Amino acid sequence: MSFVAVDGVTFRFAAGQSAVIEDLSFAMSRGETVGVLGASGSGKSTLLRLIAGLEMPERGSISINGRVIVDERVFVEPEKRGVGMVFQDYALFPNMTVADNIVFGLHKLKREERRLRLEEMLELVQLSGYVRRYPHELSGGQQQRVALARALAPQPSVLLMDEPFSNLDAHLKAAIRSELRQILRQAGTTCLLVSHDEADVDAICDRSLHVRAVEASDFGSAEFAR
């Protein structure tokens, strides 16, 4: 049985507008890393937002680990989906330190557990000496790693990454790609990664999903490629 199942999902921003995603279906296995490729405006980021619960589909259903998180009747709020997300510009809270950002999603853990998990995450992303820094005191690459640590800390069942390399320099990007692949393998997380750069997906993902902008004559907007 597939771990993440997206079935016949259609989404439009406002009634009367053309659909951004139309009748999209695909599935992912547990522990798999899938890349989503497509041109600007093809609905890549929207797909992640639908899975995270930040947007509501017009039709279709999404389930994770056998649990329906959205369909015609059900809508599970984002905080109850167990999904982690790394945003395009990282969205690190500017008024919190690296440590506060990472433990933000660990509010249900006891203090000691929280501390251990923070240490584990800092080690994973190799930022142990930066706990007291604020986001603006970090480089782009460091910010990206904090965002990743923050998203992974609550051990989400699925990690969603929206253009995680778009704010990085070319030389930094190459280094971080292999680092990220290693971190994801180590954490064993199921991950859906959106990028407009095929090289990102080739370097990190097990397979890729191509989405195309919806046109009147072009329904069923996704296809898989190896």
Per CB under 8 A, does 76 bind another protein? no
For residue 151, give the nearest of 68, 61, 42, 78 by alpha carbon. Answer: 78
Q: Tell me the two tokens of residue 170.
A: 């070319």
Of 2, 10, 32, 54, the one binding another protein (CB under 8 A) is 54
- The stretch among 46-54, 138-146, 171-179, 192-200 that binds another protein (CB under 8 A) is 46-54
Site string for another protein, 1-40 (x = CB under 8 A): ----------------------------------------
Closest separation in Å from C-beta 45 to another protein: 11
Cα–Cα distance for residue pair 3/31, rounded to 1 Å = 9
Distances, alpha carbon 177 to alpha carbons 25, 72, 78, in Å: 28, 38, 27
Sign for the CA dihedral angle at 161, 167, 173, 175 comes to negative
Minimum distance from CB of 198 to another protein (Å)?
25
Considering beta carbons, is residue 73 or 171 the nearer one to another protein?
73
Q: Per residue in 62-71, is it b (16+ CB within 10 Å) or e — as a string?
A: bbbeeeebbb
Q: Applying CB under 8 A, which of residues 27, 68, 76, 91 lies at the interface with another protein?
A: 91
- Whether 36 contacts 206, CB under 8 Å: no
Here the tokens at position 52 are 């995270």
Judged by CB under 8 A, does residue 111 bind another protein?
A: no
Per CB under 8 A, residues contacting another protein are 52-54, 56, 72-73, 75, 77-81, 83-85, 87-89, 91, 93-95, 104-105, 107-108, 150-151, 154, 160
